[in-house]
Amino acid sequence: MNVVANGALARARGANRRGSTSAVALEGADIPVAILGFLKPKTPAMAVQRAMLLLLVVAVIGLAIANPVFRSPANLLNIIQQASMVGVIACGMQLMIISGGFDLSVGATAAAAGCLAAYVSLQMGVPVGIVAGLVLGVAIGSVNGSIISKIGVNPFVATFGTQAVITGVMFAMTNARPIAPLPEAWRELGFYNIGGLTTSSMVFLATIFAMYLLLRFTLFGQHIYAVGSNKIASRRSGVRVDPVIIAVYAVGGLTAAIAGILLTSIAGIGSPQAGTTWALLSIAAVVIGGTPLSGGAGGISSAVIGIFALTVLNNAMTLYSISAFWQPAFMGAAVLIAVGYEASRRRRKA
Amino acid sequence: MLQAPSHKSAKVVRLTPLLSTSGISKNYDGVHALQDANFHIAPGEIVAIMGDNGAGKSTFVKILSGAHPASAGSVEVDGLVTSFKSPNDARRAGIETVYQDLSLAEDLDVLSNLFLGREEFHVRFGGLSILNRRKMAARAADLLGEIGVNVPGVHDLVSGLSGGQRQGVAIARAAGWGSRLIIMDEPTAALGLQETAHVHDIIRGLRDRGVAVLLVSHNMKQVLELSDRVYVFRRGRIVCNLTTNKTGADEIIGFITGARD
Ligand SMILES: Nc1ncnc2c1ncn2[C@@H]1O[C@H](COP(=O)(O)OP(=O)(O)OP(=O)(O)O)[C@@H](O)[C@H]1O
Ligand SMILES: [Mg+2]
């Protein structure tokens, strides 16, 4: 039996499969072997992630050497802040994509949650407003998850539909006008910071950590991978597939609501127009970070790498006065390269 | 006879069968896929099911594994009438199924597949229960070793395994839980000669441990080599129950085609 003999090696390589080398230390396996695993990725998707991470690291080091403004602590904190709101959503999107789906309604959900939080805060104060916004996000996510799992509508159609419904209802109720002025407590929340790390930056970092733990160590996380990989096999093995999918979308809706509420706190208004690009940006981040849309694979590291790649790109373009109009083109190219690279490696392997 | 370990004779001891069915029928919207199926299997017995395409073999197997409800008839386990409403019910009774498509999550590692739906935990708290991967890994390695499945490591992705290794993982998953009856639908259809021989060894190993194996197969050589008894299905009916070492390919084929009755 070489199972036992190769145990340590296999454990290190296995722990690396979700693309996160830091997980290995926690699994207690050989670090050098883990690095070997990183250099020789096991799946095409992991190869994409490795390439993107190297690219990001090289870009950050290059920019830091070339540009004193870039490497200033204020700018680095600024990058985290800029990444934060879409970043929180990308963390939720990561779960949905691992489960084999995605959610086009996150932008609309964010706007609706931000507006509801703003509206409720006028009467009942900011804390109650925030809770209301979060509850709305979870509710919308649960509806998405139920439509997808119980009725069997595919995620594209289901979330495209809910996105339209949410936007329509929200516009009708607000006349598409922002909710303002808001209680001063919103701005205090939005501009609060610890050593330059803003509220939304801290929430973003906390979300990354929470999702990492969820995916890596919990039963729910394990079942998200299983359902995304093979729904029928999961059901036959006794995984309660529908509740898993509903919970995944509920978490997705929650992250959308968090982002929308953060935006309200920073903007100081509840804006029905917010978040229109967030769904596609967050999906792009996850894909650029090396998670295949086919489900069953990937890790929170994808969302993190992807969102920082997009944000650093934006930041560099601003520093070098390149027109922001180029940004979608670069993002699109990055998505195509990531998907194309993965597909070609997959073909070569088959 | 009672203590005879040699398997062909051990079967003669028909105490209470592990599982038996009487009068099982299944209609799919008026199509009689299965009618009046009477069947039994004892611990440590390898029973084969043969029959032409559409004869009702998979239908019968799905009823035993809890995937489909029967339209009529009853299933008894240890002499007690039971009804399986889901694969989980059957599993609780010690009945495991190796599906024809293997039903593995290819993006997950061997370990995760072996323990899917029966994970081990450090702390139990619903969906937030903390997985105990170390414990699962140790048990997985033991289990694979015990059954004789060779995979490079329990943390390897299933997508990187050969057909035989996948089959091995699927069988190990079914065999690893104190299961008493393992149903296998065409377990070697996709395998090469060597891999098939290895799966045969695994099946014999299970039999020697007292596990009952129900084998759906189109492979006459395999059935003659492995099984103790053969049921032949034709057009939704069980047309015979033969003792393997008292029959031969000609008789079985006769029943399959309908040349005999
Ligand atoms: N879900 C279903 N709905 C309707 N008819 C079905 C269904 N499943 C099976 N049947 C019918 O029931 C009959 C028996 O099918 P079954 O799959 O049990 O055959 P089988 O013996 O397993 O055949 P094979 O060797 O091709 O796997 C066939 O006529 C088939 O068309
Ligand atoms: Mg069949």
List CB contacts of B259: < 8 A, sequence separation 6 or more.
Answer: B253
Please tell me the residue having the least CA distance from ligand 1 atom 22: B58
Confidence of residue B41 (pLDDT cuts 50, 70, 90): very high
Distance CA B47, CA B41 (A): 7
Test the A interface: residue of B131, B155, B165, B185 with most A CBs within 10 Å: B155
Mean pLDDT over the full length of chain B:
89
Q: Which two tokens stand for residue B81?
A: 């009438």
φ, ψ of residue B25 to 5 degrees: the values are -130, 155
pLDDT of A325 reads 87
Q: For B101-111, how does the pLDDT look when each residue is reduced to its tens digit (9 = 90+)?
A: 899 999 999 99
3-state SS, residue B48: strand
Residues A13, A34: Cα–Cα separation, whole Å:
6
Give the separation between CA B90 and CA B179, rounded to whole angstroms: 10
pLDDT tens figures, A11-43: 333 333 443 333 333 344 445 555 555 667 778
Q: How is A58-101 classified by DSSP, letter by letter?
A: HHHHHHHHH-TTTTSHHHHHHHHHHHHHHHHHHHHHHHHHHTT-
The residue whose CA is least distant from atom 3 of ligand 1 is B28
- At A212, the pLDDT band (50, 70, 90 cuts) reads very high
Give the residue ranges of DSSP H helices in B126-183. Answer: 133-147, 163-175
CB A258 within 8 A of CB A85: no
Q: Which residue, judged by its Cα, is nearest atom 12 of ligand 1?
A: B33
Q: Which CATH number fits the domain B18-257, given the four candidates 3.40.50.1980, 1.25.40.10, 3.30.70.940, 3.40.50.300?
A: 3.40.50.300
Distant-in-sequence, close-in-space partners of A108: CB < 8 Å, separation ≥ 6:
A162, A163, A164, A166, A167, A170, A275
Nearest-angstrom CA–CA distance, A217 and A211: 10
Give the confidence band of B261 by pLDDT, cuts at 50, 70, 90: confident
Lowest pLDDT segment from A19-23, B37-41, B129-133:
A19-23
Contact B99, B44 (CB under 8 A): no
CA pair distance A113, A158, nearest whole angstrom: 19
With beta carbons under 8 A apart, name residues in chain B contacting A218. 127-131
Mean pLDDT of B209-235: 95
CA B58–ligand 2 middle distance (angstroms)? 4
Residue range A121-143, pLDDT digits in tens: 999 999 999 999 999 999 999 99
- Mean pLDDT for A279-289 is 95
Indicate the pLDDT class of residue A190, thresholds 50, 70 and 90: very high
CA of B57 to the centre of ligand 1 (A): 8
ipTM surpassing 0.95: no
Q: Which residues of A223-246 are buried (b: 16+ CB within 10 A; e: fewer)?
A: bbbbbbbbbebbbbbebbbbebbb
Length of chain B: 261
Ranges of each domain in chain A: 80-345
B194 Cα distance to chain centroid: 21
Helical (H) or strand (E) element with B208:
helix B193-208
The answer on pLDDT for B76 being more than 90 is: yes
B128-135 average pLDDT score: 95
The torsion of the CA quartet B65, B68, B72, B75, rounded to 10 degrees, works out to 10
Mutation for testing the A interface, residue in B64, B116, B173 having most A CBs under 10 Å: B116
Please report the pLDDT score of residue A19 as a whole number. Answer: 37
Residue nearest to atom 27 of ligand 1 (CA): B53
d(CA A133, CA B136): 40
Q: Report the SS3 class of residue B89.
A: helix
Contact residues, chain B, for A225 at CB < 8 Å: 105, 107-108, 112
What distance in angstroms lies between residue B115's CA and the mean position of ligand 2's atoms? 26
Segment B214-241 mean pLDDT: 96
CA of B97 to the centre of ligand 2 (A): 13
Whole-number pLDDT of residue A34: 54
Tens-place pLDDT, residues A232-266: 999 988 899 999 999 999 999 999 999 999 999 99
- Strand B212-216 and strand B181-185: the pairing is parallel
Residues lining ligand 1, judged by CB closer than 6 Å? B 28, 31, 33, 51, 53-59
pLDDT tens-digit series, residues A66-115: 999 999 999 999 999 999 999 999 999 999 999 999 999 999 999 999 99
- Place A350 in a pLDDT band, splitting at 50, 70 and 90: low
Q: What is the pLDDT of residue A20?
A: 36
Strand partners, B213: B46, B182
Q: Please report the pLDDT score of residue A42 as a whole number.
A: 77
Answer whether residue A192 shows pLDDT above 60.
Answer: yes
Cα A236 from chain centroid?
Answer: 30
CA separation for the pair B23, B16 (Å, rounded): 18
C-alpha to C-alpha distance for A331 and A310, rounded to whole angstroms? 7
- What would the mean pLDDT of B51-69 be, rounded to a whole number? 92
CB contact under 8 A, B150 and A17: no
The answer to whether residue B208 scores a pLDDT higher than 50 is: yes
Q: Give the nearest ligand 1 atom to B56 CA.
A: 18
Closest atom of ligand 1 to B218 CA is 25
Q: Which CATH class is domain A80-345?
A: mainly alpha
Q: Which tokens is A278 given?
A: 């967030």
In this prediction, residue A263 carries a pLDDT of 98
pLDDT at A225 over 60: yes
Write down the pLDDT at residue B15. 61
